[in-house]
């Protein structure tokens, strides 16, 4: 199968066979062609050459509705749910089956009960989806696909916002699905998950499938080297400096949402020059609201925030003026503008910089030149400032956002989920850049749902659950089982509330 976008050959003679009743992994660097291939399978794109066969019979998809009718379901990395709708309403949406919603709703409930029992996907049917934990929202997405008759399920980076316990639960569900004859295609950058969850794995590089392996016959090291086409060197942890003065102080801060509900409760901590403070926690436990408040994007109900000893007033422009840079957790919602050109997304929040012109007119050649240099420095592919942001892969979008913010952090970097959707080589690159900022004496506040990332990068680890700080420990004493308990809102007896 082949697919071109102008001069870009996104898929090159891709040949992939997936057996029913198995979990099949697909891995590759950002821009390797995985997303393009899955979008062809789901009917978003049409291949320029080649064909798709299901059960040995060729099929042609004009749009995703054809793919759904053929029994293909896709669970996206960014959930496609209406947060104010209940579970039943979300599952029915677009597949009501009747103009009379009453009978349709009763039938949907019966069908959902059958699916929940068969596949172990229990969720509360009448609760608004926005009130559910992220792991249960993902179950709703899987139920939506099964409700529409999916026999082939494609999951794109499904564990990026899950806790370790939720990841284990998802893998049990995938095994149950495969055991009931469903076919699961798992796209992930986390190679340990490939080893834990799949039966077979295909490796893509530069648009082509370069290797196929039975998972039991390969290793993480072999897959990693096949992905990048070279031997992987161990990541350098750098030489941290002795932490200096406090650059970020949070004093009894409470943050409320637009409905007046407290999302962050009486939180206090400090981050010093030359250290990385990691905040672990399951998504939805106040980390996002805390980061936004620290970045000046959300008001503080009570308490105060100090940057380098001086009180910070409201407004993100004030934070940037004080040397605080912010990498949002969700690049699509608040980090980038998808329809914008890359050069426009690359200056969001910094368009007043004199280097880009003065007054009402921007110096677009200067913007484009600066963007190209940053894209090349952060290995954003392709390094084309005029390309639409939405046309970049998720990992390259993430690197574009990081390229905009990292060098602007003269004192403090607030970074949420820095490597979400980023490939193996990109993860090492981003981690190295974050460590280099720390080693240069900056204060880094890191939020991540990936415990391995927290433990690998942080000098101190703080855990949030329910908007509160559950505990804080030096990274060298942070044990993953104890952190997992804290993330679930349970204090482990061996984990102190505060580091000594």
How many Å is the Cα radius of gyration of the chain?
23
Task: Evaluate if residue 294 carries a pLDDT over 50.
Answer: yes
What is the model's pLDDT at position 261? 87
For residue range 428-462, what is the model confidence (pLDDT) as tens digits? 889 999 999 999 999 999 998 777 888 889 999 99
Q: Examine the pLDDT at 499 and tell me if it is beyond 50.
A: no
Output the pLDDT for position 493: 45
Q: What pLDDT does 371 receive?
A: 96
List pLDDT tens digits, range 196-247: 999 999 999 888 999 999 999 999 889 988 887 766 555 555 555 688 999 9
Q: What is the pLDDT of residues 130-144, one digit of tens each?
A: 888 878 888 899 999
pLDDT of 118 > 80? The answer is yes
Reply yes or no on whether the pLDDT at 182 is more than 90.
Answer: yes
Whether residue 184 is predicted with pLDDT greater than 90 in this model: the reply is yes
Residue 89, pLDDT > 80, answer yes
Q: Is the pLDDT of residue 43 over 80?
A: yes
Instruction: Render pLDDT for 321-358 as a digit per residue (tens, 0 to 9).
Output: 899 999 998 888 889 999 999 999 999 999 888 889 87
Residue 412 above 90 pLDDT? yes
At 496 the pLDDT is 41
Return the pLDDT at 231: 62
At 301 the pLDDT is 94
Range name among 20-24, 80-84, 149-153, 214-218 with the lowest pLDDT average: 80-84
Instruction: Name the average pLDDT for the chain.
Output: 87
Question: Alpha-carbon distance 112 to 84, whole Å?
Answer: 19
Q: How confident is the model at residue 498 (pLDDT cuts 50, 70, 90)?
A: very low
Task: Please compute the mean of the pLDDT values over residues 86-92 and round it to a whole number.
Answer: 90
Q: Between these two residues, 360 and 416, which has the higher pLDDT value?
A: 416
- List domains and CATH numbers for the chain: 3-228 (3.40.50.300), 246-487 (3.40.50.300)
Give how far Cα 90 sits from Cα of 12, 43, 105, 190, 356, Å: 37, 21, 11, 29, 45
């Amino acid at each position: 199968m082949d697919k071109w976008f102008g001069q870009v050959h996104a898929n090159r003679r891709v040949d992939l066979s997936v057996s029913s009743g198995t979990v099949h992994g697909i891995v590759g660097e950002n821009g390797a062609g995985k997303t393009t291939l899955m979008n062809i399978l789901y009917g978003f794109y049409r291949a320029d050459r080649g064909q798709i066969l299901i059960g040995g019979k060729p099929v042609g998809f004009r749009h995703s509705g054809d793919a759904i009718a053929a029994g293909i379901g896709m669970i996206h990395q960014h959930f496609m749910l209406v947060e104010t709708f209940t579970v039943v309403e979300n599952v029915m949406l677009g597949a009501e089956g009747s103009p009379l919603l009453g009978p349709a709703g009763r039938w949907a409930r019966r069908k959902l009960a059958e699916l929940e029992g068969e596949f172990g996907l229990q969720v509360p049917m009448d609760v608004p989806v926005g009130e559910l934990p992220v792991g249960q929202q993902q179950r709703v997405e899987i139920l939506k696909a099964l409700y529409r008759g999916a026999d082939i399920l494609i999951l794109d980076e499904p564990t990026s916002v899950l806790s370790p316990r939720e990841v284990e639960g998802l893998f049990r569900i995938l095994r149950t699905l495969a055991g009931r004859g469903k076919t699961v295609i798992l796209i992930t950058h986390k190679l340990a998950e490939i080893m834990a969850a799949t039966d077979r794995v295909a490796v893509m590089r530069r648009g082509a499938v370069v290797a196929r392996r039975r998972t039991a016959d390969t290793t993480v090291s072999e897959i990693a080297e096949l992905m990048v086409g070279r031997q992987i060197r161990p990541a350098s942890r750098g030489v941290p400096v002795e932490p200096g003065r406090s650059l970020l102080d949070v004093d009894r801060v409470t943050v409320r949402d637009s409905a007046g509900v407290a999302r962050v409760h009486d939180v206090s901590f400090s981050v010093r020059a030359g250290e990385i403070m990691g905040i672990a926690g399951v998504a939805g436990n106040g980390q996002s609201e805390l980061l936004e408040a620290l970045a000046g994007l959300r008001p503080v109900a009570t308490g105060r925030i100090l940057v380098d000893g001086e009180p910070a007033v409201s407004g993100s422009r004030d934070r940037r003026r004080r040397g605080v840079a912010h990498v949002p957790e969700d690049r699509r919602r608040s980090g980038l503008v998808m329809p914008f050109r890359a050069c426009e997304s690359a200056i969001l929040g910094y368009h007043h910089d004199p280097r880009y012109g003065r007054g009402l007119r921007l110096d677009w050649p200067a913007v484009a030149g600066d963007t190209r240099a940053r894209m090349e420095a952060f290995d954003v592919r392709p390094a084309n400032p005029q390309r639409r942001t939405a046309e970049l892969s998720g990992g390259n979008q993430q690197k574009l956002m990081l390229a905009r913010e990292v060098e602007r952090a003269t004192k403090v970097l607030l970074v949420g989920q820095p490597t979400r959707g980023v490939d193996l080589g990109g993860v090492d690159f981003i981690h190295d850049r974050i460590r280099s900022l720390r080693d240069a004496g900056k204060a880094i506040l890191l939020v991540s749902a990936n415990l391995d990332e927290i433990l690998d990068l942080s000098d101190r680890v703080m855990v949030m659950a329910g908007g509160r700080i559950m505990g804080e420990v030096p990274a060298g004493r942070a044990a993953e089982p104890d952190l997992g308990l804290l993330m679930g809102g349970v204090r482990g007896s061996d984990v102190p509330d505060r580091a000594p």
